[in-house]
Amino acid sequence: MRICSTRWLLVFLLVVPAQAIAQSFPTDNPILRAIWDEGMNRSQVYELSQTLNDSIGPRLTGSPNLTEGANWVIDKYAGWGVTARTEQYGTWLGWNRGPSHLSLIEPHVRSLNAMMLAWSPGTPNGEPIDAEVMLLPDLPDSAAFAAWMPEVAGKFVAISFPQPTCRPDAAWEEYTQPDAMARMMARFMGGQQRGNVFTRMREERQAAQAAWRTRIENTGYDARSLPDALEKAGAVGILTSEWSNGYGANRIFSARTDEVPTFAVSCEDYGIVARLAANDQGPVLRARAEAEFLGDQPAFNTVAEVTGVEMPDEYVLMSAHFDTWDGGTGATDNNTGTIIMMEAMRILHAVYPNPKRTLVVGHWNSEEQGLNGSGAYAADHPEVVEGLQAVFNQDNGTGRVTSVSALGLLGAPEFLGRWVGQLPDEMTRNLHLGIPGNPSSGGSDHASFACAGAPAFSLGADGWDYFSYTWHTNLDTFDKVVMENVQWNAVLTAMLVYLAADDAETIPRDRRIPGVNRRTGEPGTWPECRVPQRRGPGGE
């Protein structure tokens, strides 16, 4: 009975609407009150998030899942009475993940926590292969590496830095006695028992990582080109590991091989294999992986739109990227942003169906490859960029929004202050306005519009261990989403969008002159708009 009660308490905490939260409006604006009521009492964020995460799943650019997801988004908008469409801007190499498995079979048997990287080839015909493992050697120069290269034929090569410990630094600092930490450093990382041991531990880890980067540089290749060179030399597979500094969290990106599989291995299991290889203890792996390359596939954005009734050529844009990596399901990068913008549009269409300005939601593709989808939309729709009243972009996890920056536009603070001043006190209590701020040169899709001097605002959220545990990792899954925060952020976004769309004035675009670049000493300049990549790998 106790277990059952606990389980239902957890479900309650996940899905209970936030209508019980008090709200104190500084104005009597009926639309703001209606937005609160609709968003807090009839929220759809849980259902939207569960389907997007669990049923549709991760959405690599060019993958069938992304197409399926876009169709689902369009159908949801249609059910709310909102018109949505896809807009192709280029092509990308299509790839479909199949099952993959990696096991240690010598000197003992262990199923490894590993998965094939995105766009990796599978094993030949999807059949298992057995091979020994070699650790990238520490050689003095590229000539020595070239002489060593024939030894990789028929073997797996482990090319990432093996972490000396997969416990986060904070755990060592909390639980370990200083003298024990110093001994651990001296034994495993060459650290000396002097100074602040926790500071020294971080320094020693950083030094060891720097030494590994030098090891790679001495091959004559870099981390991007080395896998291809090893593949050409006859390696049967590449092993990588990119730990996020959080328990069990590993970053999963894309492969750099064309014919042999590349596996991302967990911090712990990579350490086992690397130590066996380093100590000549004969590690042998069995790998099996299936993958399907689909050739050039359409690269497209998914766009929803409600035309303004008074100023249809002026726009308020709700922005979030729709593509994800596929180590997890993309729950906080960026399904949360996607759901916020979908729910904000649903709320607005329900309570503000005839906006003064045109409302647009951009679900961008290929953000993870360099803001390509939003950049292409901005390039293809100069009339939208010219007529932008505001862009609201969200792309940093499941925390509650706590900051908005004016991004260097001198006239924006007056407008942001006026809009925020009409929000419920509960929403503004911990909301920081960056005034006048600095222009954004990247990071997320607002930069594709800010570079042109448009008022493009990033909705910055509380961390919730985003970079340690969910950003681009295998743990970025539905259970990490804090539904109350997503619900809150959707209501906040809907209110800001409404106020921007309904404002009688338009934000001026006078720009702040950026200060001196502290790194280079050169005078600061407004960032230039990057040219989007419209044809990805595999294009002709």
State the total domains in the chain: 2
Query: 40 and 118 share a domain?
Result: no
Indicate the DSSP class of residue 398: S
In a domain? residue 493: yes
- Kindly state whether residue 8 falls inside one of the protein's structural domains: no
Q: How big is the chain by its Cα radius of gyration, in Å?
A: 25
Whose tokens are 């989403």? That residue is 481
Give the CATH number for residue 334: 3.40.630.10
Identify the DSSP state of 400: P
* pLDDT at residue 352 is higher than 50: yes
Which pLDDT does position 9 carry in this prediction?
Answer: 37
For residue 537, give the 3-state DSSP assignment: coil
Would you state the pLDDT for residue 190? 55
Answer yes or no: is pLDDT of 193 > 70: no
Same domain, 70 and 123: no
Residue 482 has pLDDT above 70, yes or no: yes
Q: What is the tens place of the pLDDT at every residue in 196-216?
A: 666 777 788 889 999 999 999
287 is a domain residue: no
Residue 389 domain-assigned (yes or no) = yes
- Pull the structure tokens for residue 146: 């070239």
pLDDT score of 231 more than 80: yes
Residues of the chain above pLDDT 90, percent: 82
pLDDT classification of 169: cutoffs 50, 70, 90: confident
363 and 217 co-located in one domain: no
Mark whether 83 and 220 lie in a shared domain.
no
Instruction: From 457, 346, 341, 472, select the one nearest 409 (Cα to Cα).
Output: 457
Query: Are the beta carbons of 102 and 287 closer than 8 angstroms?
Result: yes
User: Which phi and psi (to 5°) does residue 467 adopt?
Assistant: -75, -25
pLDDT at 144: 98
Average pLDDT estimate for 265-270:
98
Given the DSSP bridges, would you call strands 401-405 and 456-461 parallel, antiparallel or unpaired?
A: antiparallel
Distance in Å from the first CA to the final CA of the chain: 62
User: Per-residue pLDDT tens for 365-407?
Assistant: 999 999 999 999 999 999 999 999 999 999 999 999 999 999 8
Spell out a b/e string for 106-139, using b for 16 or more CB atoms within 10 Å of the CB, else e.
eeeeeebbbbbbbbbbbbeeeeebebebbbbeeb
Show Cβ contacts of residue 193 under 8 Å, excluding neighbours closer than 6 positions: 179, 182, 183, 185, 186
Alpha-helical regions (H) of 429-476: 447-450
pLDDT at 171: 84
Residue 228 inside a domain? The answer is yes
**pLDDT for position 257:** 97
Q: Quick one: average pLDDT of 149-172? A: 94
Type and span of the H or E element at 378:
helix 372-380
Please, where are the H alpha helices in 288-353?
A: 336-351
pLDDT tens digits, 2-58: 334 333 334 434 444 444 454 789 999 999 999 999 999 999 999 999 999 999 999
Domain-embedded: residue 468: yes
The pLDDT mean for the chain works out to 91
The answer to whether residues 347 and 486 touch, using CB atoms and an 8 Å cutoff, is: no
Whole-number Å distance between alpha carbons of 443 and 334? 13
Contact 132, 214 (CB under 8 A): no
370 in a structural domain: yes
Q: Are residues 398 and 254 in the same domain?
A: no
Domain-located, residue 522: no
Which residue intervals of 330-371 are DSSP H helices? 336-351
Which DSSP helix (H) or strand (E) runs through 416? helix 412-420
Is the pLDDT at 530 greater than 70? The verdict is yes
Cα–Cα distance measured from residue 224 to residue 254, given in angstroms and rounded to the nearest whole number:
10
Q: Are residues 119 and 263 in the same domain?
A: yes
Of 410, 404, 406, 405, nearest in space to 513 by CA: 410
Which CATH number belongs to the domain containing residue 143 in this structure? 3.50.30
Average pLDDT rounded to a whole number, residues 57-73: 97
C-alpha triplet 269, 273, 277: angle, nearest 5°: 165
CB 268, CB 128: distance < 8 Å: no
Same domain, 336 and 474: yes
The string of pLDDT tens digits covering residues 87-135 is 999 999 999 999 999 999 999 999 999 999 999 999 999 999 999 999 9
Of 253, 282, 311, which one is at a domain's C-terminal end? 282
SS3 label, residue 120: coil
Shared domain check, 457 and 336: yes
pLDDT, residue 416, reads 96
Residues 79 and 150 in one domain: no
Contacts of residue 307, Cβ cutoff 8 Å, sequence gap at least 6: 358
The kind and range of the H/E element at 88 are strand 83-106
Full residue range of the structural domain in which residue 223 is found: 108-282
Verify that 122 and 83 share a domain, yes or no: no
Whether residue 89 sits in one domain with residue 59: yes
Q: Which of 26, 28, 24, 22 is nearest to 418 (CA)?
A: 26
Measuring CA to CA, which residue among 226, 241, 263, 240 is closest to residue 152? 226
Rounded CA separation 107/236 (Å): 20
Q: What is the pLDDT of residue 187?
A: 61
Q: For 36-40, 53-57, 178-182, 488-492, which range has the lowest pLDDT when averaged over its residues?
A: 178-182
Question: Which residue, 250, 282, 314, sits at the end of a domain?
Answer: 282
If asked whether residues 364 and 479 sit together in one domain, one would say yes
Q: pLDDT value at position 188? A: 57
Q: Are 292 and 269 in contact (CB under 8 A)?
A: no
**Six-digit token string for 499:** 């106020």
